[in-house]
Each structure stands twice: as C-alpha cells, then as structure tokens.
Amino acid sequence: MYHGHNIREGRWFTVVVILNHITEVQLLDRYTAKKPAIGTLYLTATHLIFVETSCNTRKETWIIHHHIATVEKLPLTGTGYPLNISCKNFHVVHFVIPSERYCQDVYHSLLRLSQPAKLEDLFAFLYNPKQDEDDRRNGWGFIDSAMDFKRMGLPNEFWELTDLNKNYELCSTYHSELGIPKTARKDTVLGSAKFRSRGRLPTLSYYHKESNGAICRCSQPLSGISARCLEDEEMLQAISRANPNSTFMYVVDTRPKLNAMANRAAGKGYENADNYSNIRFQFVGIENIHVMRNSLQKLLEVCAMKSPTMSDYLTGLENSGWLRHIKAVMDAGVFLAKAVADEKASVLVHCSDGWDRTAQVCSLASILLDNFYRTIKGLMVLIEKEWISMGHKFTQRCGHVDGDPKEVSPVFTQFLECVWNLMEQYPCGFEYNEKYLLEIHNHVYSCQFGNFIGNCQREREEMLKEKTFSVWPFLWENRQQYINPLYKCSLGREVLRPSTLPLNFKFWCGMYNHFDKGMQPKQSILDHLLTIIQKRVEGEKKMTDFQRVSRYRFV
C-alpha cells in the first residue's frame, strides 16, 4: 500500500494499490547536467509515481498511464538501464533503473497499461471521486450544448431545431438535436444527408444574431466527377435564404485543392459551383491529419534537442512546419469570422468527413465572433458543441486504446494552440488563462473523465454517461485558478480581428516545454496577480466580518 497525496487528484487518492515498486531509480534532468534525483518508482494500476528520496522535501512525480505515448528502453549505461517515457502532454522523463529485469517489467506493464485494448479498461471507469449518483448525473447536465442554440436566439424566423436525428438514424456521428433552416423540408434534409459523406449533412454551427450570418458545417458531397443531388442543392439554398442580409453564401472547403480533387476519383469531392446557385466556393488549404501528426513529431524532435544552438533550434522549428499549420487554421477561422461579421454572409464549411478541420475552423470562428466563448463556461460549451457532440473522434485521434496509429493526430491540440495565440494577441480579451487550456488538454488525454472518450455522441450515450464522471463540473469548481485577471468583459461582443502575419505565430513554450521549468519565465505575472487579488478578497472579507461584528457591539 502506498499512501500518497497528489494535489490535482488529491480528493480521492488516499490509498493507492501498488503493483510494483523499484528502489534506487534515477530520474535524469532533461536539460541541465544536474545530479540525477534518486528515488523509488511505484507502479500502480493507474499511475506511475516517482518519489524522490535523495532530497529532504518529499518530491513526487505522477504520470497517469494514459498520458504515456511512448516507452523506450535504451542500451545499458554505466549507471543502469535507461527507460525513456514521452507523454501526450509533452512531459518527457528519463529514468535509469538498476536492474534489467525490473526495467523489463516496468516497460511491459506500461505498454499494456497506457493503451488498453478496450475502452472499458480506461481510468474513467475506475475513477470515483466519492460523489453520489445524483451528483454524477447532474454533472453530466452541467454543460448542455443544445442550450447554446437558445442563447443564439433559436428557434427564430430563420432557424429551428429538428429531432430528425433523435435515434442517430440520419447521421450516426452527429448529435441528436440539429439546427437547420426553417424552410428546409424533411425530404430535403434526408436527401442532403444521403449525398454527404457518412450522412453528415449541413447543419448549424453558429448563428450570428447581429448580421443574421450563419456558420454551418457538413462533410464533403458525394459528387464524384459529375454527380449532383437536387435535395443537397435545395439544402444550401435554404441556408442561403435563411440570411436576408446576403445574396450569396460561401462554401469553404478547408482542404488543399489537390486533396479535394483526389477525392473526386473516389466518388467524393467538392461542390460544383455551377450546380449550386449563388455560392462562392473557396479552398483554404489546411493539411490532413497525417501531415499534422508528422509535423508535430518533428516539432517534438526539436524540443528534445539537448542544448541546441539558436540556429539549430530555429531551423528545426521552421522545418517542422508546425507554426505554418497553426497559421492555416487561424487564417481559415479569420476568413469565416470576417465573412459573417463584415460581409454579413453565411458560410458552409467542410473538409472530408467534417470532424477534424471543420471542427477546428468552426470553433475558432465562433471564438472570434462571440465573447461568450472567451469565457470559462463558454469554452466548455464550445468544446462540447463543436467537438464532442459533432463527432470529433477523440478515442482515435488521441489513441486512447490500442488501435491504428495512423488515426492519431493532434487536431484538438492545434485548436487549443490557436486559442492560445489569440490570448497572446489579446491579453485582456479572454476570461480564462493559459492554465485552463493546459488543464483541458491534460484531461483530453488523461481519460480520467468520460467526456473525451468515444468517437461520437451515440457511443457516449450508450455507456459513458452511466459509468463515468464529467470533467466540466470539476473544472468549474477550480475556476479560480483559470481566471485571467486582465480580462475586460467590456470588450463585449467585439469581433476579434487578429493579425495573422506569420511572425505572430510563436512556439508555445507553456505547452511543449511545460515540464521543463528551466525554460519558463522565472516569475509569473499571472500567479502574482492571482495571489494579490486573492489576498485582497480575503482582506475585504475580514474587514466586512469585523465591521459586522463591531456594528452589533456598538448598536
């Protein structure tokens, strides 16, 4: 038995079952030539824990198994058997283990535990923060993405919610409640769904009250070389008509043109502008999941360089292409926001299946257009709405369970990085701070909560909501840590118009070097402000308490 206390999971980790423990393990520092820390490595069912014994204060390093992306055994060195672990939250640790057998044991255990074969073996099904069943159920109701349509003013004279997908028969990977134009007839909707890849028909993502412009999303049409579908054409007409302020609508294909053309050979493709009246068709050229995965890999190789020279580092950063991809996503988001806010036009967005690039671009545009998504709760709603309920394949993209490594891709990470870039440009524009993004990112991969498990709403409905907890109430409870003290809500409904000059896209040290404290600024403005505000609030509370007491005394 190991009695540990961890700040983050502190609420329930009082007793952890130890599967294995190894003493005299070294933890090497990634950058400096400091003396390695010596301690004991504990393997539990859910975590790998290193407890340092070489220093007086008890220092612990906790790694949740699901965060582990790769485990690597290196050849024997003078001091033992090196075991390198890289995590999905970009934590990299190098252990040196004294015996080969132990090293082998840990290695195999971690391979097995980090990526189980079945979803049911993920941590979320074990995690139980001592809440009763009602709390757990209520927790799942904390964020309701359908409520967001109400906030946008739906239903109204142009848009309504339909339950055509209530049994997931129309589209198995969509949510059950979809926003569609009021004038779209049932057969139009059904026909359009048949003409779209995996039935992912055009549906409302965001409605901009001020301009009547709407952002809609779907998958690619099954147009092939020459096929057309009257219902799909009618569907786009209906979307266009739902905006009285514009005579045309944009159709944005977020793929590079070549990729879209290649899809035509497979019976898919893109809209032929001749068949659809009054559309302006546009490619924006965001690369696919495979390019993004490889780019991140290159970026991480740069991060892993030991004391690189300035030019090695910069060349590596440039050659990874990562920041160019982030810029491409941002450019597309800005294009959408400008179309809606400035041209008062509606936009229909798709990529291939409409669950990766489309999710990135629609959610980013929503943030640019609407201050609500720049609040702590608003971001939860946005992620729930555009990612979870619209079928971003978290299980596959995050590699939660043992599966095809080619399905893994940092699509969601890129979205968070775009938001971070906006926060850097608008230091007073967001209610939340960088820690919030990092914590969300941690939980996307930790599998501690049920939200990011499963590939679509239907899968989740079937098992997760019954057996796991939702992350949102947990984050909400800790919201004090995620506040940006510089936030000015007076920015109000102002549309953000960020500069997308390439030089504005910086390397995100706080994400990719988060665990390399030596690289972070040595003092944090954010922490300092949060502390003095906290003190002030406490001081005021004492003051009012004191005044209340003294009033009673003297009256």
Partner 1 sequence: MEFSEHIKTANVEDVVLRRPFYQPTKGTLCVTGHHLIFSNRGGDSARPFLLLLRNIDAIEKRPSVSSGTITLKCKDLCVLQLDIPGMEECLNIASSIESLSSLETVSEMYPFFYRPPFLSLQDQWGLSSTEQHYAQMKEIHDGWRVSQVNRDYSVSPSYPPAVIVPHSIDDETLVKAARFRQGGRFPVLCYYHRETGTVIMRSSQPLSGANRKRCREDELLLQAVIDGSELGYIIDTRSSQQAQQARMTGGGFESKSCYRGWKRLHRQLEKGKVLQESLIKLVEACGDQSHSIAMLMMTVWFLCSISCYHVISVVMDGHSVLVHGSEGTDTSLLVSSLAQLILDPDSRTLAGFLGLLEREWVQAGHPFQQRCAHSAYSHVRLRHEAPVFVLLLDCVWQLARQFPLAMGFSEPLLLRLAKEVYASDYGTFLCNSDQERCVTGVKERTHCLFQSLLRANERQHYSNPLYERTELAIWPSIQPPSLQLWKGLFLQWTDDALHLVEAQKVIQNLVSQCHRPLNEKVENTDG
- 263, 266, 271, 276 alpha-carbon torsion, rounded to 10°: 170
Token pair in block for residue 35: 């003396």
Residue 70 CB coordination number (10 Å): 13
Task: Decide if residue 187 touches partner 1 (CB under 8 A).
Answer: no
115-123, 144-152, 200-208, 485-493 -> range binding partner 1 (CB under 8 A):
485-493
Does 304 participate in binding partner 1 (rule CB under 8 A)? Answer: no
Q: Considering CB under 8 A, how many residues would be counted as binding partner 1?
A: 50
* Contact stretch for partner 1 (CB under 8 A) within 90-98, 239-247, 409-417, 515-523: 515-523
Give yes or no for residue 504 binding partner 1 (CB under 8 A).
yes
In the complex, minimum distance from the CB of residue 364 to partner 1, in angstroms, rounded to a whole number: 18
Query: Cβ 294 to partner 1, closest distance in Å?
Result: 18
Interface with partner 1, residue 226, by CB under 8 A: no
**Encoded tokens for 401:** 């369970």
The residue from 258, 261, 304, 314 that contacts partner 1 (CB under 8 A) is: 314
Residues numbered 55 to 94 that lie near partner 1 (CB under 8 A) are none
Residue 126 to residue 224: CA distance in whole angstroms: 47
Smallest gap from Cβ 2 to partner 1, in A, equals: 34
- The answer to whether 428 is annotated as binding is no
Q: Is 356 annotated as a binding residue?
A: yes
- Using rule CB under 8 A, residue 503 touches partner 1: yes
Is 217 flagged in the annotation as binding? no
Nearest distance from C-beta of residue 531 to partner 1, angstroms? 10
User: Which residues does 141 contact at the CB level (< 8 Å), separation at least 6?
Assistant: none
Selected from 75, 78, 405, 521, the binder of partner 1 by CB under 8 A is: 521
Q: Does 155 bind partner 1 (CB under 8 A)?
A: no
**249-253, strands of its sheet edge to edge:** 203-207, 214-218, 346-350, 249-253, 279-283
**What secondary structure, in 3-state letters, does 290-328 show?**
HHHHHHHHHHHHHHHCCCCCHHHHHHHHHHHCHHHHHHH
Phi and psi at 406, nearest 5°, equal -75, -10
Enumerate residues 6+ apart whose C-beta is below 8 A from 389.
145, 174, 175, 457
- Type of residue found at 303: C
Is 352 annotated to bind a ligand? Reply is: yes
Closest CA to 122 of 45, 20, 44, 43: 45
Judged by CB under 8 A, the residue of 14, 57, 226, 523 near partner 1 is 523
Contacts of partner 1 in 420-459 (CB under 8 A): 425-429
What does the alpha-carbon distance between residue 363 and residue 373 come to, in Å, rounded to a whole number? 9
Q: Output the smallest distance, CB 317 to partner 1, in A.
A: 4
Separation between Cα atoms, residue 382 and residue 422, nearest integer Å: 16
Out of 502, 552, 554, 555, the residue judged to bind partner 1 by CB under 8 A: 502
Strands 203-207 and 249-253: unpaired
Q: Contact between 551 and partner 1 (CB under 8 A)? A: no
**Contacting residue, 70, 99, 478, 524, with partner 1 by CB under 8 A:** 524
Q: Is residue 334 close enough to count as binding partner 1 by CB under 8 A?
A: no
Sign of the dihedral through C-alpha 390, 340, 348, 412: negative
Structure tokens at 407: 């399905």
Which of 539, 545, 548, 550 contacts partner 1 by CB under 8 A?
539
Determine if 493 is a binding residue for partner 1 (CB under 8 A).
no
Q: Is 186 in the site for partner 1 (CB under 8 A)?
A: no
User: Binding residue for partner 1 (CB under 8 A) from 239, 242, 317, 368?
Assistant: 317
Q: From the CB of residue 289, how many other CB atoms can be counted at a distance below 10 Å? A: 20
- Residue 34 makes contact with partner 1 by CB under 8 A: no
C-alpha to C-alpha distance for 217 and 64, rounded to whole angstroms:
35
CB of 231 to partner 1, least distance (A): 43
User: Could you give the residue numbers annotated as active site?
Assistant: 351
Asked if 210 touches partner 1 (CB under 8 A), the answer is no
Q: Select from 308, 377, 407, 476 the one that contacts partner 1 (CB under 8 A).
A: 308
Is 357 labeled as ligand-binding?
yes
Q: SS3 sequence, 18-60?
A: EEEEEEEEEEECCCCCCCCEEEEEEEECCEEEEEECCCCCCEE
> Alpha-carbon torsion 161, 419, 7, 399, what sign?
positive
- Does residue 301 belong to the site contacting partner 1 (CB under 8 A)? no
Residue 516 beta carbon to partner 1: minimum distance, rounded to whole angstroms: 8
Contact 457, 477 (CB under 8 A): no
- Residues at the binding site are 288-289, 351-357
- Residues at the binding site for substrate are 288-289, 351-357
Residues of this chain that interact with partner 1 (CB under 8 A) are 31, 307-311, 313-315, 317-318, 323-324, 425-429, 485-486, 488-490, 499, 501-507, 509, 513, 518-525, 528-529, 532-533, 535-536, 539-540, 543
